[in-house]
Structure 1
Amino acid sequence: MTRLENQPWLTAPATAAVFDALEAAGGLDCARFVGGSVRNALVGRPVDDFDIATRLKPEDSMAALKAAGIKVVPTGLAHGTVTAVSEKKPYEVTTLRKDVETDGRHAVVAFTDDWAEDAARRDFRLNALYADRTGAIFDPTGQGVDDALAGRVVFVGDANTRIEEDYLRILRFFRFFAWYGRAEPDPEGLAACAAHAEGLTRLSAERVSKELLKLLAAPDPRPSVHAMADAGVLTRLFPAVADLTAFDAIAQASDDPVLRLSALLPDDPAAVAGIAQGLRLPKVMEVRLVAAAYGPLDPATDAKTLRALTYRLGKQAVSDRSQRGAALSGDAAPALALIEDWPVPRMPVGGHDLAKLGLDPGPEHGRILKAFEAEWIAEDFPTDGHAERLRRLARP
């Protein structure tokens, strides 16, 4: 039997407290770690999420944990999930489940005490791995360990059936391939994703964007994104994508998922705003993508122009556009250091300065200040001569 070795989290006091509590109510082997923690530990990746599967019903899990003095949060009782907080660490505890009904977006589940039934409803074989508190791994599909070690992302059972249960598994297939896959994507899984790509339109925008950004955060998402394009999945998300040359260059140059996403979008600010809103992206992300859509900056852009752009657009926007320009040209991006180090000045005058000149507040103030700002930027933000410039602009 394969066993996890040298995993401090397995024997940590916080872990022991949770397992002691569950086993006191359900006996030995009533609880096992499942999914990401087992998979990541097996392949030498960091473990930062702790999911536990248990034969106990959710109300019994809650009672057992509370009896042991462990804080419990009912995070998803309808689906059998509670969160135990042990020594400030969260452990998500979920009752073994089997699907009763699915519609491509949501599932109605029933609780079970059968580990194989629980494994059968999971997405990929490398995610259907369990480990007890000693580190002994249980592999109900018989191929999850081999898949994880070989870098294969293969659906549990029939790929078409798994996707029809939840169309988000199309994006999860490509996301897990981006993070864990080696060689080529599983042909059966790829074909099933292509056949059901239309189902992505049935998903909520929030689920799609969350999965997409996780995919783009992978160390090298390029093979996965190309596989999405070949399967007709990418154009379901971004119909205007015709060429991945820009994406390849930027994905290689930067590990920023938002900047990578910008390379999949058109250089059309209005269109990008619509796409970002359609994906329900946070406003700060939308603003950033829209700014990047004004196009890449030439790496040879002079420092004066860069300062003017930074003042008007902000450091993030100019940094993004500079990185895109550098990646596409294959040149360095000296602008980045300049942008980072330059303290963006504030407008050095305001209405109070016009009042000193005897001008009454009114529309004329705005005209004068706007003209002042334009000259001040054009002259590369001089630090003196402000009063004289205001007087000249204020003359009738």
Structure 2
Amino acid sequence: MTESLPDAEWLHRPGLKELLEALGAYQDDARFVGGAVRDTLLGHSVSDVDIATVHEPREVMARLENAGIKAVPTGIDHGTVTAVLSGWPVEITTLRRDVSTDGRHATIAFTDDWREDAARRDFTINALFADARSGIISDYFGGLEDLRAGMVRFIGDPDARIAEDHLRILRFFRFYARFGKGEPDAAAYSACRARANSLMALSRERIADELLKLLALREPTPALRLMVDGGILLPVLPEIDEQGVTRMARLIQRENEADAEPAPIRRLCALLPANPSVGDGVAARLKLSNKARKRIVTALTDAPDHEHPVQLAYLIGTEGAVDRMLLNENISAATIKELRSCTVPSFPMTGGALIARGLAPGPAVALALKEVEAEWIGNGFPMGSALEAIADQIVWKFQRARQ
């Protein structure tokens, strides 16, 4: 039975019809491929649109320029050109076949064979093409059946596909977390377990990117359990164990209770021991940004259960306070909701105000101002006369100390 792509919002985006005409898509020189096809069939929203074409990259560039469409040679040596349509990008990639691979990079050659291009893709559900005019799906490896069954399955021999690109191990678990139903494909899971050590050959940036994409999904827990049970992460992230997965599962439940958006970095914190030094080490190993590294350390730093949420937010920022409180199971979801809805005040006092009260200019001003701020925080951020009274008391204390 022939299956066709249903109508979807993205098919009517401005500039797409002109792009398809420029590529000869209505003569079957180009087809939609990959995630846009897969997600549309599932009724999901589509952000990225990819097109495969028989035209080689420089021909694609020329066709787009002749049609007045902005063309960016984002990966022209590997066959990819990006068309920019009214501010949104479309990746256009020439049909390819692998000549050689080393687990990290592939040497490719261009082809005009749609099945040959599909055969080099990772999973059957990612190798679906859709005709631009009729919407008819080209499915060479049973991807439609797998999509309906919630089965993430490698094209061909899983061991060979992983040997071509080791990152496919992590991609398998990410796609299983997003699309899988029930038990994972046995051959795929077995191959991932057998080749887990090959992850050590990948750059830590690629590992981090794939892991954080997994953690950003609505419910990554079952996939993470499979990874831990199978020793998948042991070669590169031995800090993540079964207890960590259990902590993350509870965190996700608390995120839902507190109406908090999922945060991959926060979930990574839950997977790790509650130790800021360990978190910092993992962040450094994964070569995360300084901002992400600081967020991990802040979240994993212990804090008293009774600390007032707004006071905590003032001291470490709202993001850090939400992270820390969500990771602390002794703090209620209602408290976290309260924090997320409140406005953190700004300290209104200045050193000049203390000098105007008679405090002599010098190093003591900065010290006195810190004490005023600490008292202000501890008393719940009073304003007006209450803050003035705190400032008067601290100035008097410093003046007395100098006598």
Q: Scaled by the length of structure 1, what TM-score is found?
A: 0.91
CA drift of 1:279 comes to 1.7
- Structure 1 CA distance for aligned equivalents of residues 139 and 6 of structure 2: 17
Give deviations 1:74-129, integer Å, cap 9, x for gaps.
11101011012234332211101111121111111111111121111111111011
Residue 282 of structure 1 is matched in structure 2 by 289
- Structure 1 CA distance for aligned equivalents of residues 119 and 197 of structure 2: 25
CA drift of 1:295 comes to 4.2
Task: Kindly indicate whether residue 333 of structure 2 is the aligned counterpart of residue 308 of structure 1.
Answer: no
Residue 324 of structure 1 is matched in structure 2 by 327
- Structure 2 CA distance for aligned equivalents of residues 220 and 315 of structure 1: 24
Residue 168 of structure 2 is matched in structure 1 by 169
* Secondary structure, counterpart of 2:265 in structure 1: helix
CA drift of 1:359 comes to 4.2
Residue 61 of structure 1 is matched in structure 2 by 60
Residue 336 of structure 1 is matched in structure 2 by 336
Q: CA RMSD in A?
A: 2.1
Residue 392 of structure 2 is matched in structure 1 by 388
Task: Kindly indicate whether residue 378 of structure 2 is the aligned counterpart of residue 375 of structure 1.
Answer: no
* Secondary structure, counterpart of 1:334 in structure 2: helix
Task: Kindly indicate whether residue 156 of structure 2 is the aligned counterpart of residue 157 of structure 1.
Answer: yes
CA drift of 1:296 comes to 7.5
One-letter amino acid of the structure 2 residue matched with residue 344 of structure 1: V
Contact 1:34 1:53 in 2 (8 A): yes
Contact 2:3 2:136 in 1 (8 A): yes
One-letter amino acid of the structure 2 residue matched with residue 324 of structure 1: L
Residue 213 of structure 1 is matched in structure 2 by 212
One-letter amino acid of the structure 1 residue matched with residue 139 of structure 2: D
- Structure 1 CA distance for aligned equivalents of residues 303 and 155 of structure 2: 43
CA drift of 1:12 comes to 5.3
- Structure 2 CA distance for aligned equivalents of residues 337 and 129 of structure 1: 43
CA drift of 1:165 comes to 1.1
* Secondary structure, counterpart of 2:27 in structure 1: coil
Give deviations 1:344-364, integer Å, cap 9, x for gaps.
233343321333245444332
Residue 259 of structure 2 is matched in structure 1 by none
Correspondent of 1:264 among 268, 271, 275:
271
Change (3 A) 1:374 1:387: closer
- Structure 2 CA distance for aligned equivalents of residues 8 and 341 of structure 1: 34
Residue 89 of structure 1 is matched in structure 2 by 88
Change (3 A) 1:235 1:354: same
Residue 252 of structure 1 is matched in structure 2 by 253
CA drift of 1:216 comes to 1.1
Residue 45 of structure 2 is matched in structure 1 by 46
One-letter amino acid of the structure 2 residue matched with residue 333 of structure 1: A
CA drift of 1:55 comes to 0.8
| More displaced 10-residue stretch of structure 1: 337-346 or 219-228 | 337-346
Give deviations 1:27-49, integer Å, cap 9, x for gaps.
82111111101111112111221
| More displaced 10-residue stretch of structure 1: 346-355 or 79-88 | 346-355
Task: Kindly indicate whether residue 72 of structure 2 is the aligned counterpart of residue 73 of structure 1.
Answer: yes
Give deviations 1:313-361, integer Å, cap 9, x for gaps.
2222221222222xx46x7422223323443233343321333245444
Give deviations 1:194-234, integer Å, cap 9, x for gaps.
11111222222222222111111212111111111111113
Task: Kindly indicate whether residue 291 of structure 2 is the aligned counterpart of residue 294 of structure 1.
Answer: no
* Secondary structure, counterpart of 2:234 in structure 1: helix
The percent identity for this pair of structures is 45
One-letter amino acid of the structure 1 residue matched with residue 395 of structure 2: R
Contact 2:309 2:336 in 1 (8 A): no
CA drift of 1:8 comes to 4.5
Change (3 A) 1:259 1:146: same
Consecutive unaligned residues of structure 2, counting only runs of 5 or more, are 256-261
- Structure 1 CA distance for aligned equivalents of residues 347 and 11 of structure 2: 57
Residue 362 of structure 2 is matched in structure 1 by 362
Contact 2:166 2:199 in 1 (8 A): yes
- Structure 2 CA distance for aligned equivalents of residues 57 and 67 of structure 1: 16
Residue 147 of structure 1 is matched in structure 2 by 146
Contact 1:296 1:324 in 2 (8 A): no
Q: Count how many residue pairs are aligned between Structure 1 and Structure 2.
A: 386
* Secondary structure, counterpart of 1:290 in structure 2: helix
* Secondary structure, counterpart of 2:103 in structure 1: coil
Contact 1:221 1:251 in 2 (8 A): no
| More displaced 10-residue stretch of structure 1: 228-237 or 187-196 | 228-237
Change (3 A) 1:31 1:353: same
Consecutive unaligned residues of structure 1, counting only runs of 5 or more, are none
Contact 1:349 1:386 in 2 (8 A): no
* Secondary structure, counterpart of 2:97 in structure 1: strand
| More displaced 10-residue stretch of structure 1: 311-320 or 354-363 | 354-363
| More displaced 10-residue stretch of structure 1: 166-175 or 264-273 | 264-273
Give deviations 1:17-74, integer Å, cap 9, x for gaps.
11211118xx821111111011111121112211111111111111112112221111
One-letter amino acid of the structure 2 residue matched with residue 340 of structure 1: R
Q: Scaled by the length of structure 2, what TM-score is found?
A: 0.89
Contact 1:220 1:252 in 2 (8 A): no
* Secondary structure, counterpart of 1:51 in structure 2: strand
